[in-house]
Each structure stands twice: as C-alpha cells, then as structure tokens.
Amino acid sequence: MRAGFRGSIPLFVLALSVCLAALAQGPGQQEQPAFVKQGQELMRAGKLEDALALYRQTLQTSPDSLPANVAAGSVLDLMGRSKEARTYFQKAIDKADTPERKAMAERSMAMSYAFEGNCAKTLEHESRVLEYYRSTNNFYQQGEILDEGARVCIDASDDLHPSKAKEDLADAQKWYQAGRDAGLKEPDIKSARVDLWNFRWEHAQARLAARRGDKAEALKHVSAAQAIVEKGSIPEQKPFLPYLEGYVAFYAGNYGLAGEELLQANQNDPFIQCMMARTYGKLGKKDKAIEYYRKAAGGVAHNPPAAYAVPYAKGKLAKMKGAS
C-alpha cells in the first residue's frame, strides 16, 4: 500500500496565500496584513460569509487594497458568485502598482473563470501572467502558469461543458506541452527539475489519453510516469501516482480499481474528494458519494482543483437533494 500524502499544507495556504503575499508585500514588508491571516482562518473554518464581511470591512477604509480585493473575489468564487467576484479582481488589476502585482491579480481573474469551467477566458488571463514571467526570464514560473491553465482546460472538458470537450482537451495538451518545454529552458537546470517536468508531462498525457478513451495510451504514460518517480529524484511527486492510476481507471470504467487507488491519493484535495464521490456514485454507494461530495463542496482553495471540484460537488448535491 502506498503512503498517503502526509504533512500537507492546506491548499488554501498554498494557493491564495501566494497571490496575497505578492500583492500585500511592499519594500521591506515580510508578512501579510493581519486581516488576511484572520480571513484565512475563517475560511478554513468554513465561515465564508464572515471572511467576506471582514474583507469588505477592510475595503470600506482601504478601497484600493489589492490583497483585500483579491481575497473578497476569491471568497465570492467559492460561494458561486463569480460575476460579482470579478469586479474585485478587476479593481485589483486596475490598481496594481507593479507588473508583478498586476500579474498576480490577473492570475486570480483567470481562476475566477476556472470556477465557471471557462477554458478560453482562463487562458486569456493566464496568458497575461505568462507574459510577465517571460519578461523576467523566469522559466520555472512560465511552466507553472502553462500547466495551471492546462489543468483548468482538461477539467473543464469534463461533463461541465461537453460541447467544448474536444476543443478544451486540445488546449490542455498544447499548454501542458508548452509548460514542459518552458520549464526545461531554465538555465543550469538540475536533473531533479528535469525529472519533475518530464513527470508532469507524462502525467498529463496519461490523463488526456484517458479522457479521449484511449486506455492503452493512457497506461503507457502511467508506466512512464512511474519510471520517472522510481528514479528517486522527486519523491515528493509519489503521491500523485495513485491519483493518476485512479483517474485512468475511472475513465476506463474500472470503478473498483479507481476507488482503491484514489484512497491512496491526497485526501485533503477537493478534486480527489470529488473523484471519490463520482466513483462511489458509479458503484451505487449513494451515501458515500454524498459524504465525499460534501467534503469537496467545502473546499476553500482558489486554484484549479477547487475550481472544478467545489461547483461540481455543490451542483451534484443540489441534484441529489432535489431527487430525494
């Protein structure tokens, strides 16, 4: 049995905090404002309304505060009010006083469209973030942004927007490959970093093949991803293997295997929780499906996994309630 994802930092801290830190910190400023930390605590406690009220209170006295505008928009996205959220992100973009802060605000705007499963609009704003990192010759961050946009598109191509699935998958493949290519351009790149980009590319190709119904191709890339991890240079990527194997099994219709593998993945990830719920649904275990949909619906990150899982899970729970 594989080891679980231990010692994981909450996704909210990993995602939104990065943007808020960049937006909040000026010269010599090393910490986020107190209201940002307080709002994060409220969100982790599931008190989204209270967090939004806190951020709006801050904006009453500091209407141009970039971290407060981004934080308020992020909460609204999680509440399913993305159109309203984007008024705050646009304010942050307009008031940003450095290229880096403008790029971070654009990144938040991109994620807002991701909460609506809008691949094209997400990539439009991610492209502006990408231009910033190109201007600074930051190849690693270029790869990160390209992979982030690709992740939104592969998820958006699911049954959220089936009419655009082919187009969204094509965009996902294009951006994933560009992410790998950009990342590998890093000067004096270490061998572990090379393995990281190659692993991510194999992981992506396996998921793309699975989504296109090509099980053999998907398994070929799963094996390639496993071989890279087994080299030992990127042990932190090992937890992403059961996620991948469960994902491929799910789209191949092997729901028993999917459940076994996904249980070994990061159980704090709302995307994994959502996939577990879908798997239990396919297995006819409605109570377990509801349990995991509720977990996924409670996600508080502002990143691609939550952008897919939170609205999807809330929609499924509403349908289940209406059908009962």
Mean per-residue pLDDT for 34-54?
A: 93
Domain 12-116 architecture: Alpha Horseshoe (1.25)
What are the boundaries of each domain within the chain? Answer: 12-116, 269-324
Alpha-carbon span 291 to 267, nearest angstrom: 13
CA dihedral 49, 110, 242, 248 (to 10 degrees): 120
- CA angle (90, 274, 45) in 5-degree steps: 65
* pTM for the full predicted model: 0.90
- The 10s digit of each residue's pLDDT in 171-195 is 999 999 999 999 999 999 999 999 9
Geometric angle at alpha carbon 42, from 117 and 152, rounded to 5°: 15
- Report the sign of the C-alpha dihedral through residues 297, 299, 305, 311, in that order: positive
d(CA 275, CA 164): 21
pLDDT of residue 60: 97
Strands (E), the chain: none
* Encoded tokens for 94: 């307009």
Segment 127-152 shows an average pLDDT of 98
pLDDT confidence band for 19 (50 / 70 / 90) = low
**For all residues of the chain together, what is the average pLDDT?**
91
* Of 1-5, 27-31, 119-123, 180-184, minimum mean pLDDT range: 1-5
> What mean pLDDT is predicted for residues 219-236?
98
Q: What's the average model confidence in pLDDT over 97-102?
A: 97
- The C-alpha atoms of residue 85 and residue 71 are separated, in whole angstroms, by 9
